[in-house]
């Protein structure tokens, strides 16, 4: 059945008219030239932690190098807030220390929850959370990176107990804190001065004692109550009678923590001998030491240095060597990027270590800080949306060829509309009844 010509013309008009109106509306909005979109303000890239390992290429085999090793560590720790010293024993003894690491993590979570409750004035809840934190920290004190977490938990637990009317438990908790840290900072708690006076009164009857720590193998580093005390054997006097914490560590060995309770007897001293066990992968690191000694200071990381990336799970390593007599001890440090293989920094220092003076210690600490005074990769960009950037000139609708095509389509539509509307009701003789004109149809 033939479709009436008039009906066909009306259909063409109805289809073409919206296109024509759209062209009149959108066309003027198209930019005459490509205008660059103003980029949103750049966000400061978030900081990430850069882990650095420190390796004594001679294996901590001499007491003086083991001692100097600690002060190099201290310098690395203060070099930058975004640089974290990788504890080698965590990697070399992976798995064996999981429980202690978990205890510290649980303790930190409980401390955070307790401090949040404390800040909200919920002292009952805070005291419970902080007590949990103290328990976790005490069970794995040797694995605390910062003993201040322990002191903070004890201090605020005692304050909360005092504020909720539990006077006696509060005094005992603060006394425990003062036994470990006599210089506890209490300036911010002026309202609780009576609590600290009462705790100090409890300590008046406590005897002053001491502890001597020996290690197997000898010459290991010793910490008492979180503070470094030197290389074993170590004598630590001036301790209040009560619970104290001893930690012993050495490169290639699993660290050991022990609670000691020196009591005021005739000797006034308790002797502790702590035996260290080799870390599970101690042999792996020791197998690399001969190669590290040969490659030490090379302008690029040698084959052995490069293996430290997989062994210690870090991208940067500081190689350390101490040599010479005590009065002219030479300290050499080299910093390598294990990813690029580049030597990033190299520093040396000759220091008199016979007296271990404060000046000499500060020089070693500063040397380590300087070796990390380079541009480490400390930031990464985190993108929350699509990663494809928007072109500076805008999207496809800003391109000249896009609007040329649209113009052709619209112009053709306009012509079709005019023709359709101008035709008579009946098609002229010779015009195809299907409305076609014999032209070429272009599709875009």
Report residue 1 as tokens. 């059945």
What stretches of 96-147 show up as alpha helix (H) in DSSP? 98-119, 123-139
Angle between the N-to-C axes of helices 98-119 and 123-139, in degrees from 0 to 180, rounded to the nearest 10: 160
Model confidence at 111, pLDDT cuts 50, 70, 90, reads: very high
- Please state the rounded mean pLDDT for residues 124-141: 96
Q: What is the pLDDT of residue 254?
A: 95
User: Cα 370–372–378 angle (5° rounding)?
Assistant: 145
pLDDT in tens, 151-208: 999 999 999 999 999 999 999 999 999 999 998 888 889 899 999 999 999 998 888 8
The domains spanning 50-90+291-371 and 208-275 adopt the same CATH topology:
no
Instruction: Give which of 71, 68, 89, 74 is closest to 324, Cα–Cα.
Output: 68
How many other C-beta atoms are found inside a 10 Å radius of the C-beta of residue 196? 22
Domain residue spans of the chain: 1-35+393-438, 50-90+291-371, 97-203, 208-275
- The torsion of the CA quartet 212, 213, 218, 220, rounded to 10 degrees, works out to -130
For the domain made up of 97-203, give the CATH fold: 1.25.40
The kind and range of the H/E element at 149 are helix 148-163
Tracing tokens 């930019």 back to the chain, one arrives at 31
pLDDT in tens, 210-260: 999 999 999 999 999 999 999 999 999 999 999 999 999 999 999 999 999
Tracing tokens 């009591």 back to the chain, one arrives at 263
**Cβ contacts of 393-401, under 8 Å, gap ≥ 24:** 393/34, 393/35, 393/36, 393/37, 394/31, 394/34, 394/35, 394/36, 394/37, 397/30, 398/30, 398/31, 398/34, 398/35, 399/34
pTM of the model: 0.73
pLDDT in tens, 364-390: 999 999 999 987 754 333 333 333 443
Sheet holding 234-240, edge to edge: 234-240, 208-216, 269-275
Q: Say which range, 22-36, 261-275, 286-300, 353-367, has the weakest mean pLDDT.
A: 22-36
Measure CA 396 to chain center. 42
pLDDT in tens, 73-108: 999 999 887 889 999 999 999 889 999 999 999 999
Kind of pairing, strands 208-216 and 269-275? parallel
User: Do residues 229 and 222 touch, judged by C-beta distance below 8 A?
Assistant: yes
Average pLDDT score over the chain: 81
- Specify the higher pLDDT residue, 7 or 326: 326
Instruction: Give which of 48, 64, 76 is closest to 319, Cα–Cα.
Output: 76
Superfamily (CATH) of domain 208-275: Carboxypeptidase-like, regulatory domain (2.60.40.1120)
Architecture of domain 50-90+291-371: 3-Layer(aba) Sandwich (3.40)
Q: What is the pLDDT of residue 94?
A: 86
Model confidence at 432, pLDDT cuts 50, 70, 90, reads: very low
- Specify the higher pLDDT residue, 422 or 181: 181
Q: 56 preceded by cis ω (within 30°)?
A: no
**Cβ contacts of 397-404, under 8 Å, gap ≥ 24:** 397/30, 398/30, 398/31, 398/34, 398/35, 399/34, 403/27, 403/30
């Amino acid at each position: 059945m033939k479709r009436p010509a008039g009906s066909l013309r009306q259909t063409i008009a109805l289809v073409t008219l919206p296109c024509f109106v759209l062209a009149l509306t959108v066309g003027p909005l198209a930019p005459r030239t490509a205008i660059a979109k103003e980029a949103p303000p750049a966000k400061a890239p978030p900081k990430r932690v850069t882990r650095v390992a420190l390796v004594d290429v001679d294996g901590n085999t001499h007491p003086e190098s083991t001692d100097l090793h600690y002060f190099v560590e201290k310098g690395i720790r203060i070099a930058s807030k975004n640089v974290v010293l990788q504890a080698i024993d965590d990697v070399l003894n992976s798995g064996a220390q999981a429980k202690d690491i978990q205890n510290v993590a649980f303790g930190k979570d409980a401390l955070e929850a307790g401090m949040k409750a404390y800040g909200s004035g919920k002292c009952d809840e805070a005291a419970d959370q902080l007590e949990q934190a103290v328990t976790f920290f005490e069970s794995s004190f040797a694995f605390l990176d910062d003993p201040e977490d322990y002191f903070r938990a004890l201090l605020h637990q005692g304050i909360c107990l005092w504020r909720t009317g539990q006077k006696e438990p509060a005094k005992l908790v603060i006394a425990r804190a003062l036994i470990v840290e006599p210089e506890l900072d209490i300036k911010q708690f002026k309202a609780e001065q009576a609590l600290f006076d009462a705790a100090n009164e409890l300590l008046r009857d406590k005897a002053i004692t001491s502890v001597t720590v020996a290690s197997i193998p000898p010459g290991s580093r010793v910490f008492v109550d979180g503070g470094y005390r030197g290389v074993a054997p170590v004598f630590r006097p001036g301790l209040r009678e009560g619970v104290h914490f001893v930690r012993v560590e050495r490169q290639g060995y699993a660290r050991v923590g022990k609670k000691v309770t020196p009591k005021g007897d005739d000797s006034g001293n308790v002797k502790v001998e702590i035996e260290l066990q080799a870390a599970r992968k101690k042999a792996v690191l020791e197998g690399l030491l001969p190669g590290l000694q040969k490659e030490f200071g090379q302008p690029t990381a040698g084959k052995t240095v490069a293996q430290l990336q997989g062994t210690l799970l870090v991208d940067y390593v500081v190689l350390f060597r101490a040599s010479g007599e005590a009065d002219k001890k030479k300290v050499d440090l080299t910093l390598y990027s294990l990813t690029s293989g580049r030597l990033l920094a190299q520093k040396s220092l000759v220091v008199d270590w016979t007296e271990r003076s404060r000046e000499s210690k500060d020089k070693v600490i500063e040397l380590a800080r300087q070796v990390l005074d380079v541009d480490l990769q400390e930031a990464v960009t985190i993108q929350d949306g699509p990663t494809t950037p928007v072109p500076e000139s805008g999207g496809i609708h800003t391109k000249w060829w896009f609007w040329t095509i649209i113009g052709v389509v619209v112009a053709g539509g306009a012509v079709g509309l005019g023709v359709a509307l101008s035709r008579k009701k009946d098609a002229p003789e010779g015009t195809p009844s299907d409305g076609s004109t014999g032209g070429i149809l272009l599709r875009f």
